[in-house]
């Protein structure tokens, strides 16, 4: 009997179409993202799940799936899945590292530059007719922060953090780094977290969201940041205390922020960051180029096919 695999969204690229040679595939066709209750229903009797970072697969759901043999997520981050619950049953979890590194570093730098130079604010000013109405231009008109010569602190100097560091060096920035586990990284001055926060004009987050990193950038750590610094987050919203960040941005303690990820997504209307003019916002699009998303989908398919063949996944998050 063929195994049953549920795919929670249509994926881009060609490779995913090969899945049906190995199993019975059922794909959620929408409209929109699958709800938690529909996911629970669709997964009954499934041996495998191909999912997105928007699908929350927690222990209570995993416990209802005695046949489950693998999950393959089209994401590098796996915080939407209870990895410990999978580990207890020896269930492999596929993810997509590597292919999104440069794309996510580009997004990080786009947000960093946009926040430093107030690009979103300026765009709104022109688009909404304020420029015409006020007939204004002055030497301090939309002045921002210099990037060249500034210090960038990278929290999490893994593959994406290092790709951001390469961009920063090309822009004439000095780079400091911090990792949870002490390790040296060629070309990056590794320092204590407190020192990084105190000395950096820009801080960029590149650590995964885990029990250890949830809320790492809390009110205490935000207060340590250099006055007038800029925070960029393309990692996960849960790493930052969003209320403390919003308060620091509103008071002027921090100059600006570029935020691609939120504790709750889609971000609720009452998130305090949405009301601030000095925050550049994006809807979790760090890896969103056509090519990168196709490459991620291909790896997702490869991981699922390997599991169906009884082989080790090429990219397993819980080996």
Residue 284 a catalytic site member: yes
From 236, 293, 295, 315, the catalytic residue: 236
Q: Which residue has the tokens 């935020």?
A: 259
Q: Which of 77, 92, 156, 177 binds ligand DGY (CB under 6 A)?
A: 77
Nearer to ligand DGY, 204 or 287 (CB): 287
Cβ atoms of 245 and 257 within 8 Å: the answer is yes
Site map (CB under 6 A) of ligand DGY, residues 37-56, x = contact: ----------------x---
Residue 167 a catalytic site member: no
168 binds ligand DGY (CB under 6 A): no
287 binds ligand DGY (CB under 6 A): yes
Cβ atoms of 76 and 54 within 8 Å: the answer is no
Can you name the residues that pair with 229 across neighbouring β-strands?
254
What secondary structure letter does DSSP report for 234? -
Give the burial class of 1: count Cβ atoms within 10 A of its Cβ; 0-12 exposed, 13-18 middle, 19 or more buried.
exposed
Question: At closest approach, how far in Å is the CB of 100 from ligand DGY?
Answer: 6
**Spatial CA neighbour of 150 closest among 108, 107, 202, 223:** 202
Residue 47 a catalytic site member: no
Nearer to ligand DGY, 75 or 162 (CB): 75
- Dihedral sign (CA 64, 65, 71, 73): negative
CA dihedral in degrees (124, 105, 203, 210; nearest 10)? Answer: 110
Give the burial class of 172: count Cβ atoms within 10 A of its Cβ; 0-12 exposed, 13-18 middle, 19 or more buried.
exposed
Of 85-144, which residues contact ligand DGY (CB under 6 A)? Answer: 100
301 binds ligand DGY (CB under 6 A): no
Whole-angstrom distance between the N-terminal and C-terminal Cα of the chain?
Answer: 28
Question: At closest approach, how far in Å is the CB of 97 from ligand DGY?
Answer: 9
Can you name the residues that pair with 60 across neighbouring β-strands?
none
76 binds ligand DGY (CB under 6 A): yes
Q: Which of 4, 28, 42, 75 binds ligand DGY (CB under 6 A)?
A: 75
From 9, 284, 293, 315, the catalytic residue: 284
Point out which span in 17-25, 69-77, 160-168, 244-252 binds ligand DGY (CB under 6 A). Answer: 69-77
The kind and range of the H/E element at 36 are: helix 36-42
Nearer to ligand DGY, 107 or 278 (CB): 107
163 binds ligand DGY (CB under 6 A): no
Point out which span in 71-79, 119-127, 176-184, 186-194 binds ligand DGY (CB under 6 A). Answer: 71-79
The kind and range of the H/E element at 26 are: strand 24-27
The catalytic site residues sit at 236, 265, 284
Residues at the site binding ligand DGY, with contacts judged by CB under 6 A: 53, 75-77, 100, 286-287
């Amino acid at each position: 009997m063929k195994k049953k695999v549920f795919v929670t969204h249509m994926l881009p690229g060609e490779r995913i179409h090969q899945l049906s040679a190995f199993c019975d595939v059922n794909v959620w066709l929408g409209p929109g993202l699958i709800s938690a209750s529909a996911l629970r229903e669709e997964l009954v009797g499934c041996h495998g799940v191909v999912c997105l970072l928007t699908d929350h697969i927690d222990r209570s759901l995993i416990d209802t799936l005695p046949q489950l043999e693998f999950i393959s997520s089209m994401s590098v981050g796996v915080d939407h899945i209870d990895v410990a619950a999978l580990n207890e049953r020896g269930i492999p979890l596929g993810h997509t590292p590597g292919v999104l590194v440069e794309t996510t570093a580009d997004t990080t730098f786009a947000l960093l530059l946009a926040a430093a130079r107030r690009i979103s604010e300026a765009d709104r000013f022109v688009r909404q007719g304020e420029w015409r109405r006020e007939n204004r231009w002055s030497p301090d008109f939309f002045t921002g922060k210099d990037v060249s010569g500034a210090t960038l602190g990278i929290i999490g100097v893994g593959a994406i953090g290092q790709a951001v560091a390469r961009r920063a060096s090309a822009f004439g920035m000095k780079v400091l780094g911090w990792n949870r586990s002490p390790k040296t990284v060629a070309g990056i001055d590794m320092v204590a977290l407190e020192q990084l926060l105190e000395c950096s004009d820009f801080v960029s987050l590149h650590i995964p969201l885990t029990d250890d990193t949830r809320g790492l950038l809390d009110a205490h750590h935000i207060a340590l940041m250099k006055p007038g610094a800029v925070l960029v987050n393309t990692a996960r919203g849960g790493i930052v205390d969003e209320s403390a960040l919003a308060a620091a941005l509103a008071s002027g303690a921090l100059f600006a922020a570029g935020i691609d990820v939120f504790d709750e997504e889609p971000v609720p209307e009452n998130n305090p960051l949405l009301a601030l003019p000095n925050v550049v916002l994006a809807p979790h699009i760090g890896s969103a180029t056509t090519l990168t998303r196709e490459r991620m989908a291909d790896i997702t398919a490869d991981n699922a096919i390997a599991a169906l063949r009884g082989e080790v996944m090429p990219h397993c998050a819980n080996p």
